[in-house]
Structure 1
């Protein structure tokens, strides 16, 4: 069984930290006493994040890096060990996307999304695992998406990349088990999250894109990440809706196809015009979005199942009680059980 350090004893590297989930995660780790190394392409975002952490008494540095370049990813891990002496947890959150019908996505755009979202995750593992192995324990936490379980229209490269991340992690997990090395490999799968993602990615829909509501706040994902850095966890779906999506996909993919045919196309469009030529972050970083939250706070809702996932004894007690209740009802309804 993998034993992970308390957060206040950890050195944590967070990739994709200039905005959104990564930024909020860095702040939460720092507030709990971890030493934090943050990385992304936006130097202004990283600098402001480190300054914010230092103002609240935390310890942080930043490394400028594009995750599609292995040497730049390796430099994150190397700098972490050079400055702080070790690496305990690696959080990989960098991602980009193109929202468009498949026929409108160029080969260069499709490849770039895969390079960042999937190959970048593999580079992160290649850079981090040698240091985690040297420590004899640690956590590799990958931020993928509920789209790792169920793809949606207009996001073919993003969905493909997230499916690939799940395959990568499954393979890594079993290889580490075979080696007998207690490193926790976690797949964090957020539902639709209110980050600047939809401001920064490329759209060819003619309008500013949106996730299919409802949204959840980035703090919910950061909470799950910090939790899994202390408690070895295989998979963590963030948001009640994501768990429903996962269940429906397992029960009837055809039913989910029909549902997405109805909501998947209008549900990803706002009424705000946006040109295909508008600035986007697919190939280069863009300025102005170095913040945690996006523009959809009014569409956010709470999630109740996440608390249960972070309290397994209560969760499984509730499942057992529900199962027993169903069994009791069925027994009473079966023939031959009349009073």
Structure 2
């Protein structure tokens, strides 16, 4: 039998009890399906009832067990109650995925204080409240994994998304602090963060926008299943502190570390047009009320960019198979070295 790595002892390969926030659409919806395909029990947390019902059906058809919990992640008490419902139903929590968010596409000066506060409460404090609720049940068992779904924007701010970028930066700092504390305590509870590229999700049709046309992701765009695979992998390999998904994420974060001033000027020139699409927004935004309730339909995992979205990412595959690739490279180098030495001798 294969020997399991020490950090995987707390996470059985199948049948885990998994919580996914923001599970009614987009990345959360795709991640819920991916966990279900492993036979996991998946608790679906979000506000939108139509989306949650459809997500639960998909989880069950994929081979998992679904639990629907309607909750606003900005409400700390409601999040604690939601976690307790999961434990009452599943017995414990093995994996908690923080993914729910809110956003606004607008210049900072056109965002009201209440709107900025709402984005911060959902996107940042929602992760804080979710993490706290997960730890309440994981720490006594001394096992479990928390996956923070991040973004390249956790390191690199872009125009028109000041509230969202600020929240993602805050999550990054919060998660690093928590990780240090868990390591200091010798805890077997793990936390990791997955930094995502631009994704083809419905958010661009339901996020509040004050742009002249419809909002869109900055190309290149990836399908939400790329993100879902990375999240599932991170949940089982959480000793690694962070995962970067997509070549664009790697390029952005490396450039920002080396030439941040250049990126400031580059995004000032290109960042507005790159996030603008032709046409008019579909209807009411979901900042205060779930979009599926406002529009009476389920949005699913995919947005309107299927025609250009990449279904795979070589970088994401390499990230998930880093150990295997490293061994192959090491063997290759060893063979070449032996041949070279053979010629020399």
State the TM-score, normalized to the length of structure 2: 0.89
Residue pair 2:205, 2:281 contacting (<8 A) in 1 also: no
Matches of 1:307 and 1:243, distance apart in 2: 13
Within 5 Å, give how 1:29-48 maps onto structure 2: 29-48=35-54
Residue 137 of structure 1: how far off its partner (Å)? 1.2
Whether 2:272 is the aligned partner of 1:281: answer: no
Structure 2 residue matching 1:272: 3-state secondary structure:
coil
Q: Write the distance in 1 (CA, Å) between the matches of 2:333 and 2:276.
A: 41
**1:206, 1:274 within 8 Å by CA — same for their partners in 2?**
no
Tell whether 2:277 aligns with 1:267: no
Asked if 1:309 corresponds to 2:319, the answer is: yes
Q: RMSD over aligned Cα, in angstroms?
A: 2.0
Q: What is residue 164 of structure 2 aligned with on the other side?
A: 158
Q: Which residue of 1 aligns with 2:263?
A: 256
Measured in 2, the distance between the counterparts of 1:310 and 1:6 equals 18
2:72 to 66, 80, 103: 66
Question: Do 2:222 and 2:309's aligned partners in 1 also have CA atoms closer than 8 Å?
Answer: yes
1:322, CA displacement in angstroms? Answer: 12
Distance (whole Å) between structure 1 residues aligned to residue 274 and residue 163 of structure 2: 18
Matches within 5 A, 1:182-261: 182-232=188-238, 233-261=240-268
2:304 to 271, 295, 310: 295
Deviations 1:15-59 (A, max 9, x none): 110001001111111111111110100011111211222234421
Provide TM-score, normalisation by structure 1: 0.90
**Which of 146, 152, 166 is the matching residue for 1:146?**
152
Report the alpha carbon displacement of residue 183 of structure 1 after superposing the two structures with TM. 1.5
The counterpart of 1:24, out of the listed 10, 30, 35, is: 30
Checking the alignment, whether the CA contact within 8 Å between 1:2 and 1:183 is kept in structure 2 is: no
Q: Any stretches of 5+ residues in structure 2 without a counterpart?
A: 1-5, 335-345
**Structure 1, unaligned runs of 5 or more:** 325-339
**Does the alignment pair 1:119 with 2:125?**
yes
The question of 1:173 aligning with 2:179 is answered: yes
Structure 2: how far apart are the matches of 1:119 and 1:215?
Answer: 27
SS in 1 for 2:307: helix
Give the 3 Å change call, closer, same or farther, for CA 59–104 of structure 1 in structure 2. same
Preserved contact between residue 94 and residue 116 of structure 1 (Cα < 8 Å): yes
